[in-house]
Amino acid sequence: MLSDRQREIVKATVPALKAHGEAITRRFYGTMLAAHPELLNYFNPANQRAEGGQARSLAASVLAYAENIDRLGALGGMVERIATKHVSLEIRPEHYPIVGRYLLGAIAEVLGEAATPEILDAWRAAYGQLAGVMIGREGVLYAEAAGQAGGWSGFKPFRVERKVRESEETISFHLVPADGAGLPAFRPGQYVSVKVHPPGCPYEQIRQYSLSQAPNGRDYRISVKREAAPNLPAGLVSTFLHDAVPEGGTLLVHAPVGDFVLDEGHEGPVVLMSGGAGITAVLAMLEHLATRTAREVLMLHGVRSRGHHAFAARVRELAALRPGIRSVTLYEAVGAGDVPGEHHDAVGRITAEVIRQHLPEGEAHVYYCGPIGFMTAAELALDELGIPSARRHSEAFAPDPSFVTGSPDPKLRGEAA
């Protein structure tokens, strides 16, 4: 049990965490993974390199926890974000003591004499409290995934029924259960994890991919952008999936999770924004909104060029299904054969002015997804437009260090490799 005195001590360490947080978390990952290399089965190695974002993401989460140790209700967004990622990786209660041991060790080593026994005891109690919160929420998510109709625990074999090229760099995998069982429903915007063991790689690799079509009860579709892989591990899994997993092959798949989902309690207009591969997360939302609701929808998509433009025909088809759905696509580079109004609608990137030109009347909820650069630009544009955080819903395809307590900031997603 965390005492009042220990809460005061944890909050008092916030300045030290701000100054040394990334150094602490980098040390934590280095020592833990050296002592427990089996945990590399759970981590994307691209995010553990010097330029990776995992240490920054953990540092931001630890800082948010320390700042709000006396009002844990404010951590709801962070807890849900991390819990869904943990469930997708099959992180279990037995992993928490290992993490706690090396996190406290890293704090002690980096802070040196400043890490007094009283401070370390306070952080030990604080970590125990946070672990209890996370284990409790993750237990609920595991039970829900396994207990629903067609649900399962762990990773289940799926057969690749079809592979469909969507653009120069993106291939869709249509997945059906190898045992012929039915599929559980999911909420548009959620994702599944895929576990593979590429040849020559000493550890299993787990990546998360959005379910890129609305639930149909028959198959799941993931759409994988091939990442450049001249120097692995960047692109390790996407390259393996594109080149080495054939139609008829098998993939191990986790049950769907994720909290980047439509707010069904809101009946007003919806703005869907995506950059590049981010379209995979909002496409299922667009299908759901177009076919099962009468809500006004604006779809804004930014992409490099027509060759990189996945799902162009499907988006046009959905936009034509009924009144009240508009689609606007921006290309950064226009080719000689690109026809305005057919292939793209404008040139450039999504900015505040672009959003303002097309923004529906009323209090629209905005859902946006893409790589970190796109997400940063989107946040700034929505700030300029005065869209409040309560009407923003987002997910970034990378470890995200920008968590701000109480706001629905970009979430963690490991689709970038």
Active site residues: 96, 138
Amino acid, single-letter form, for residue 298: L
> Environment class of residue 29 by beta-carbon count within 10 Å: exposed (0-12), middle (13-18) or buried (19+)?
buried
Amino acid, single-letter form, for residue 387: I
Torsion of CA 374, 297, 169, 257, to 10 degrees: 80
User: Which two three-digit tokens encode residue 245?
Assistant: 């997993």
User: What do you get for the CA distance between the two ends of the chain, in Å?
Assistant: 40
CB atoms within 10 A of CB 257: 23
Return all residues near 267 (Cβ < 8 A) that are at least 6 apart: 295
- CA–CA gap between residue 158 and residue 161 (Å, rounded): 9
DSSP string covering 51-93, please? T-SHHHHHHHHHHHHHHTTT-GGGGHHHHHHHHHHHHHHT--G
Return all residues near 331 (Cβ < 8 A) that are at least 6 apart: 303, 304, 305, 306, 309, 338, 343, 344, 346, 347
The DSSP output letter for 340 is B
DSSP run (H or E) holding 164: strand 155-165
- Report phi then psi at 298, rounded to 5: -115, 125
**Angle, helix 4-12 to helix 14-35, in steps of 10 degrees:** 90
